Amino acid sequence: MDIETVTAELERAIEAGDEEAGPAAARALLDLGVEPTYVTSALSRAMARLGRQFQRLDVFVPDLLVATDAFDAAMQVVEAALLKSESGRKLKGTVIVGVVEGDIHTLGKNLVAVMLKADGFQVHDLGRDVKVARFAEAAQEFQADTIAMSSLMTTTMGRMKDVIDLLVTQDRRQRYRVMVGGAPITQQFADEIGADGYAEDAPDAVALANRLLASGRAGGGET
Amino acid sequence: MPSVTPRQRIEAALRGEKTDAVPIFLRDLTLGLDVCDFTTPEVCAGGPGGIYHAQKSARCVIETQRLLGHDCVVGSIHDLGLDVDTLGGRVEFPERGIPYVAEPAFSTPEDIARARLPDLHTEGRMPGVLRSYQLVAEALGDRVAIAANVEGPVTKAGLLRGLDSLLTDMVRDPAAARAAIDFAVALACEHVRALLDAGAHFIFVAAASDGPGVIRPEQYLEYTIPGLAKILAAASERGAPVVFHPHGPFTDERFWPLAEAAIETGIAGFQFGERNDLAIAKQRWGKRICILGGPDIPEVLLPGPAERIREVTNEVVRGAGGDGGYVLMPSCSIHREFPLDHLRAMIAAAREYPV
């Protein structure tokens, strides 16, 4: 098969959540001699397309979950090749993502993590129920330039402000771009707590991360 | 002329009738913890041996109703993890947060096959919840309507299995998803019977994960609707009406058939959450069922200010409540740390609205 055909098969497999065909197509593309970054671009296109369909409610959360599994499986194949390649993958930046303390709703956060990864960001997923101090520590530990926080409950959304306040107290606020999202979160809330941006869903989070990157706003990372 | 009680107001609305004022149901699931200044573990796992504290729960519900004067209460402080820990999962109780499932009961599909329905009257923390409903019914039940908050099919199964796992099973292992949902529905039906026997007047099916906000339309028709029909049958045994509250944009024309499918099961009311137009709901389905809903929590009720809340409440009631068959609610449930003044503003606007 030619590169074009296999690329189409890879994108189809990711969108269909096919955990076997996805990595197989990624391997086949590498065997055909393409650069690993060519494969990651195809993966990124598939996830972005799915994200747009999700925003229109043409696909639903189960579709995104299985696509995420297929994406992860294909990425494992590519990552080994990326490490070997001379140029490697040019990463856009480093993002830590997590669900704030007291909240264990990981669905949205997981989707944000995988779609940021697909778009070329290096992502460190802190998981759920992440303590305020842990966000600040992890930002330093992973030399992040962006902190992305999620909360699905009105009772826990206040922890986002606590994280920002802690960064201010530590005189490190300007080093990071801070993004927030989740069902009860609004742009107004993001403005009130001093976040740099609010995203309504995972595709929106990717767009926001890119906008913040392009704007040159804050996010110098650790120095 | 005898005055209409809050309970009569709600019951009339659920029958589609007009009454003396706009009926109000806050579905304030944990707000009362703040009103009584209780910590969450003190109520949800604060009785002897870590059991649910019925008296403190009932006090929260009763004091909050006396403070705000709404027409309908849920009979206990609600706890999403009630069945989860009884069935082997783990629930956390943050001091000032709300209980959450730290580890689901069914880590694998095999766990579902091994599970048996718990006895709600003797096992876990549920006996405390039932006692809370009884205490609330004794104190308020003659005058104030009492709703039993019961999770919907996919929602409850998601709590027991873990939502990510359940939704993945729906695609990769439909038999496992079916088993989890069947178990969840059977358990929900047990809740329905026990809570109605404890003094609840109607069933409120809270279904955050049932609907096109989460699952595919065909999954909703395959899993949610048959489960809802079973819950309805259990409520019918006690002659109690059922209100359904799934998440998703049901007033979007593409999803009208999904709302229709729920209505055809025989529900008395449908609460439309965020991303819905209540005026469309009223126009399309208002002659068949009671419409419930109101100001959007993240966009309006939470940020305020009070004047905006009053304006939006008036607008919503004008669109949906003019000729009865309507209950004013926030767009979803209300929890602790919610600004009381914002709820007061919504209630005041509804009370002043000329019916």
Task: Output the average pLDDT for chain B.
Answer: 95
Dihedral angle, C-alpha A131, A135, A141, A144, nearest 10 °: 160
User: Which residue, A35, A54, A84, sits at the end of a domain?
Assistant: A84
Strand order in the sheet with A122-125: A122-125, A94-99, A146-150, A177-181, A197-199
**Domain limits at A62?**
3-84
Q: What proportion of chain B, given as a percentage, has pLDDT over 70? A: 99
Q: Which residue of A has its CA nearest to B220?
A: A60
Say if A223 falls within a structural domain.
no
- Interface contact B164, partner A, CB < 8 A: yes
**Pick the residue with more confidence: B1 or B261?**
B261
For position A86, what pLDDT does the model report? 58
- DSSP readout, B259-292? HHHHHHTT-SEEE--SS--HHHHHHHHTTTSEEE
Q: Work out how many CB contacts closer than 8 A connect A with B.
A: 74
Rounded to the nearest angstrom, the minimum Cα separation between A104 and chain B is 7
Say if B172 falls within a structural domain.
yes
In this structure, the strands spanning A94-99 and A146-150 are parallel
- Interface contact B299, partner A, CB < 8 A: yes
Say yes or no: A101 and A207 in one domain: yes
Say yes or no: A80 and A98 in one domain: no
Cβ neighbours around B33 below 10 Å, total? 26
Residues of B within 8 A of A103 (CB-CB) are 100
For position A44, what pLDDT does the model report? 86
Burial of B80 (0-12, 13-18, 19+ CB in 10 A): buried
- Interface contact A66, partner B, CB < 8 A: yes
**Per-residue pLDDT tens digits for A55-71:** 899 999 999 999 999 99
Q: Which residue of B has its CA nearest to A69?
A: B168
Show the tokens assigned to A98: 């997590």
Say yes or no: A80 and A99 in one domain: no
Say yes or no: A26 and A125 in one domain: no
Nearest to B335 among A57, A60, A155 (CB): A155
Say yes or no: A75 and A102 in one domain: no
Say if A123 falls within a structural domain.
yes
**Per-residue pLDDT tens digits for B92-114:** 998 988 898 989 999 999 999 99
For position A108, what pLDDT does the model report? 82
Say yes or no: A77 and A117 in one domain: no
Say yes or no: A158 and A72 in one domain: no
Say if A112 falls within a structural domain.
yes
Say if B1 falls within a structural domain.
no
Write the CATH number for A53.
1.10.1240.10
Q: Which residue of B has its CA nearest to A183?
A: B298
For position A223, what pLDDT does the model report? 41
Average pLDDT score over residue span A196-221: 83
**Domain limits at B237?**
6-352
User: Which residue, A58, A84, A110, sits at the end of a domain?
Assistant: A84
Write the CATH number for B246.
3.20.20.210
Domains of chain A: total: 2
Task: Report the alpha-carbon distance of residue A57 to residue B1 in Å, rounded.
Answer: 52
Q: Rounded to the nearest 5 degrees, what angle is found at the Cα of B131, between the Cα atoms of B184 and B40?
A: 75
For position A184, what pLDDT does the model report? 85
- Interface contact A17, partner B, CB < 8 A: yes
Domains of chain B: total: 1
Supply the ipTM of this predicted assembly: 0.93
For position B1, what pLDDT does the model report? 41
Is the omega angle on the peptide bond into residue B249 within 30 degrees of 0, that is, cis?
no
**Per-residue pLDDT tens digits for A104-132:** 777 788 888 988 988 889 999 999 889 99
Confidence of residue B291 (pLDDT cuts 50, 70, 90): very high
Q: Tell if the CB–CB gap between B298 and A183 is shorter than 8 Å.
A: yes
Rounded to the nearest angstrom, the minimum Cα separation between A34 and chain B is 31
Q: Which parts of chain A fold into alpha helices (H)?
A: 3-16, 21-31, 36-55, 61-84, 107-118, 132-141, 158-169, 187-193, 202-215
Confirm if B81 and B100 have CB atoms less than 8 A apart.
yes
Write the CATH number for A194.
3.40.50.280
**Per-residue pLDDT tens digits for B18-50:** 999 999 999 999 999 999 999 999 999 988 888
Confidence of residue A222 (pLDDT cuts 50, 70, 90): very low
Confirm if B154 and B224 have CB atoms less than 8 A apart.
yes
- Interface contact A65, partner B, CB < 8 A: yes
**Per-residue pLDDT tens digits for B294-320:** 999 989 999 999 999 999 999 999 999
- Interface contact B303, partner A, CB < 8 A: yes
Average pLDDT score over residue span B257-278: 97
- Interface contact B163, partner A, CB < 8 A: yes
Say if A89 falls within a structural domain.
no
Say if A220 falls within a structural domain.
no
Q: What are phi and psi of B240, to 5 degrees?
A: -100, 140
Q: Which of A65, A112, A131 to mutate to test the interface with B (most CBs of B within 10 A)?
A: A65
Say yes or no: A57 and A140 in one domain: no
Say yes or no: A75 and A98 in one domain: no
For position B2, what pLDDT does the model report? 54
User: Which residue, A63, A84, A105, sits at the end of a domain?
Assistant: A84
Say yes or no: A20 and A117 in one domain: no
Average pLDDT score over residue span A211-218: 81
Closest CA to B198 of B76, B36, B355, B64: B76
Nearest to B94 among A62, A102, A192 (CB): A102
Rounded to the nearest angstrom, the minimum Cα separation between A186 and chain B is 7
Nearest to A62 among B98, B171, B252 (CB): B171
Say yes or no: A107 and A64 in one domain: no
Residues of A within 8 A of B96 (CB-CB) are 155
Confirm if B247 and B215 have CB atoms less than 8 A apart.
no
Average pLDDT score over residue span A143-169: 92
Q: Which residue of B has its CA nearest to A58?
A: B216
- Interface contact B114, partner A, CB < 8 A: no
Average pLDDT score over residue span A44-59: 90
Nearest to A60 among B98, B214, B298 (CB): B214
For position B177, what pLDDT does the model report? 98
Closest CA to B328 of B343, B308, B307, B306: B343
Q: Tell if the CB–CB gap between A62 and B170 is shorter than 8 Å.
A: yes
Q: How far does chain B reach from its first CA to its final CA, in angstroms?
A: 17
Question: Is the predicted pLDDT of residue A195 greater than 50, yes or no?
Answer: yes
Q: Rounded to the nearest 5 degrees, what angle is found at the Cα of A62, between the Cα atoms of A57 and A64?
A: 70
In this structure, the strands spanning A197-199 and A177-181 are parallel
Q: What are phi and psi of B202, to 5 degrees?
A: -150, 165
Residue given tokens 């740099």 in the structure block: A196
**Per-residue pLDDT tens digits for B138-197:** 999 999 999 999 999 999 999 999 999 999 999 999 999 999 999 999 999 999 999 999
Confirm if B6 and B72 have CB atoms less than 8 A apart.
yes
- Interface contact A214, partner B, CB < 8 A: no
Say if A222 falls within a structural domain.
no
Q: Which residues contact residue B52 at a Cβ distance below 8 angstroms, ignoring those fewer than 6 apart?
A: B43, B44, B45, B46, B76, B79, B82, B125, B126, B127, B128, B129, B132
Task: Report the alpha-carbon distance of residue A209 to residue A197 in Å, rounded.
Answer: 9
- Interface contact B170, partner A, CB < 8 A: yes
Say yes or no: A124 and A75 in one domain: no
